[in-house]
């Protein structure tokens, strides 16, 4: 499959997003400030600020994903936030839809036809921070034909040292139920419960530099095995080459094909660091994330973005990301029968659990469409990223190229 870096559908969608957002805003949505400049207050408001003064932020976006494994995803979304800077509270929400169409090698290997699915997700978040101490609560729900997920959590935060240091502690609980399409959860389901803990420190290092350190711990319990994923088995001593085709695997494997079976618990840990610096006419952001879990996977992710000011209304620049990971402890390219022809107790066909390296490169463009007094009251953005992934020890696929493009329209009133 050949991929177009900028498709006519994506460009058309960007125009559609603009029309939709404009219509909603005129109908009464009053978007608010998530980083964009606010319109200056009136003289009366300046001399006597009202505790009920509100700001509103609205955004609508559309994204497309495609890869060389014949997976295509379209994602429209809409979000909004209402806040009171003087009272210290804000309430926001987002709704998105993923429309997935896939004919990947994993589907072909099970003699299945093209797979189509729609996923819907909504989330809400509310915060209250009248002074140095604040609290936040959030919740989300995701629904698809064979999967239901919800989560709820909260966080506390406090500013110290004249707001030069901020700490945050958070917790969230998630509950996932996986089933089979056309079968009720009461007949067949697999449940995973998740407890996520988060701690962060943000430090103003200079008038132009901000740094942060974030720690995450996620404790999962339940069966995350995919109910559609069958694992080919081979006789002991059988040599199966990396990247073996579906035809070769079917010729070499034995008749038995058990379902995937993963461990019933997983503990994940991550440590992330970020530095953002404002130069004269440019902004640099650097991220580094280290990851390890109880399945013996270790990973490192390095991310960088540099945005240049190209005039008063335009900023643009490159984005790069490098990710590398080791395999989980029970990973095998080709699983074989054990003594007495027993199935391997743990087995997976998920190549994202194997050793891999991927490199992403892309470009970001932001255009201010507002009036001369406040160009950033309306912002139209475009992002385009391409990723090359190398699977180092897997059947069927040894590499994959994917492209993700998106358009976003944001406004603050």
Q: What is the pLDDT along the chain (413 residues), one digit of tens a residue?
A: 333 333 333 333 333 333 333 333 333 333 333 333 333 333 333 344 444 589 999 999 999 999 999 999 999 999 999 999 999 999 999 999 999 998 888 776 665 667 789 999 999 999 999 999 999 999 999 999 999 999 999 999 999 999 999 999 999 999 999 999 888 998 999 999 999 999 999 999 999 999 999 999 999 999 999 988 999 999 988 999 999 999 999 999 998 889 999 999 999 999 999 999 999 999 999 999 999 999 999 999 999 999 999 988 999 999 999 999 999 999 999 999 876 668 899 999 999 999 999 999 999 999 999 888 888 889 999 999 999 999 999 999 999 999 999 999 999 87
Whether residue 116 is contained in a domain is answered as no
Whether residue 167 is contained in a domain is answered as yes
Full residue range of the structural domain in which residue 345 is found: 133-412
Whether residue 257 is contained in a domain is answered as yes
Q: How far apart are CA 318 and CA 12, in angstroms?
A: 23
C-beta atoms surrounding 277 within 10 Å: 15
Full-model pTM: 0.83
Whether residue 16 is contained in a domain is answered as no
Whether residue 150 is contained in a domain is answered as yes
Torsion of CA 277, 279, 281, 286, to 10 degrees: -30
If one counts the domains in the chain, the total is: 1
Whether residue 318 is contained in a domain is answered as yes
Whether residue 169 is contained in a domain is answered as yes
Residue 202: give its domain's CATH number: 2.40.160
Q: Which candidate, 33, 35, 32, places its Cα nearest to that of 276?
A: 35
CB neighbours of 23 closer than 8 A, spacing ≥ 6?
Answer: none
Whether residue 273 is contained in a domain is answered as yes
Residue 192 — left, alpha, or beta (φ > 0 → left; ψ -120 to 50 → alpha)?
A: beta
């Amino acid at each position: 499959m050949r991929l177009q870096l900028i498709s006519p559908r994506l460009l058309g969608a960007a125009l559609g997003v603009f029309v939709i957002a404009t219509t909603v805003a005129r109908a009464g949505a009053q978007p608010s400030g998530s980083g964009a400049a606010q319109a200056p207050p009136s003289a009366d408001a300046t001399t006597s600020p009202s505790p009920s003064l509100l700001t509103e932020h609205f955004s609508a976006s559309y994204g497309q994903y495609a890869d060389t494994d014949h997976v295509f995803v379209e994602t429209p979304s809409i979000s909004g936030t209402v806040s009171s800077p003087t009272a210290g509270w804000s309430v926001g929400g987002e709704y998105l839809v993923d429309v997935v169409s896939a004919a990947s090698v994993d589907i072909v290997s099970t003699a299945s036809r093209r797979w189509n699915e729609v996923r819907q997700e909504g989330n809400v978040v509310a915060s209250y921070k009248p002074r140095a101490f604040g609290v936040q609560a959030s919740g989300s729900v995701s629904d698809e034909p064979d999967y239901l997920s919800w989560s709820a959590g909260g966080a506390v935060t406090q500013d110290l040292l004249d707001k030069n240091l901020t700490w945050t502690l958070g917790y969230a609980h998630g509950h996932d139920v996986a089933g089979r399409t056309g079968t009720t959860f009461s007949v067949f389901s697999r449940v995973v419960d998740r407890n996520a803990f988060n701690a962060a420190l943000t430090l103003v290092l200079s008038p132009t530099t901000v740094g942060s350190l974030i720690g995450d711990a996620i404790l999962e319990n339940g069966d995350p095995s995919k109910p559609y994923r069958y694992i080919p088995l081979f006789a002991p001593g059988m040599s199966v080459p990396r990247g073996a085709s579906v035809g070769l695997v079917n010729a070499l494997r034995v008749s038995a094909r058990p379902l995937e079976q993963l461990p019933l618990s997983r503990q994940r840990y991550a440590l992330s660091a970020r530095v953002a610096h404002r130069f004269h006419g440019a902004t640099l952001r650097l991220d580094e994330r280290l990851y390890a879990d109880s399945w013996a996977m270790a990973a490192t992710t390095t991310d960088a973005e540099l945005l240049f000011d190209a005039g008063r209304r335009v900023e643009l620049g490159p984005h790069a990301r490098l990710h590398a990971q080791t395999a989980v402890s029970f990973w095998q390219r080709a699983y074989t029968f054990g003594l007495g022809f027993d199935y391997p107790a743990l087995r997976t066909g998920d190549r994202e659990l194997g050793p891999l390296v991927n490199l992403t490169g892309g470009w970001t463009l932001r255009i201010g469409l507002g009036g001369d007094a406040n160009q950033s009251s309306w912002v139209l953005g475009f992002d385009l990223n391409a990723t090359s992934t190398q699977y180092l020890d897997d059947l069927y696929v040894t590499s994959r190229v994917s492209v993700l493009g998106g358009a976003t329209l944001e406004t603050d009133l």
